[in-house]
Structure 1
Amino acid sequence: MLTFKFWKGTAIRAVRTFAQTFGAGSLGNGLDLWHLDWKASLGVALGAAVGSVLMSIDRAPQDPSEQDVLPTSPEAA
């Protein structure tokens, strides 16, 4: 879990989750950026990103020789 590859993948997933959640919140407002509740939208997106990091840590392999953080197919689980 303390490898560069793990933390790089975790950061990429967290940024993607943040962007997707923030984008969905903005679209839910009809793209009315003047009346968008920025604090709420950013708070929800940040919470989703933190959740993503926690899920990555929870699912981290115990054996450092394992390549993937998450299984890529149902058979790998």
Structure 2
Amino acid sequence: MTDTIVDARGLNCPLPILRTKKALKEIQLGETLEVLATDPGSMADFAAFARQTGDELVSAEDAGGHFRYVLRRKV
């Protein structure tokens, strides 16, 4: 179970990352954020985003064109 959900389905890069960045600022340290996306490039984008920000990419799932990411705010 996640604390907050960002629905970025139908949006192309960089919008899913930008919405995620904004949402992460609004949650508390240790809380989780679920992101739903359809952009195929988002798999690489979210892995890079987590490395750059220091937040934890808890999971990344590809469900046949629909992607689900869970991030934990660490910074």
Same fold (TM over 0.5): no
| TM-score (ref. length: structure 1) | 0.26
TM-score w.r.t. the length of structure 2 is: 0.26
Max radius of gyration: which structure?
Answer: 1
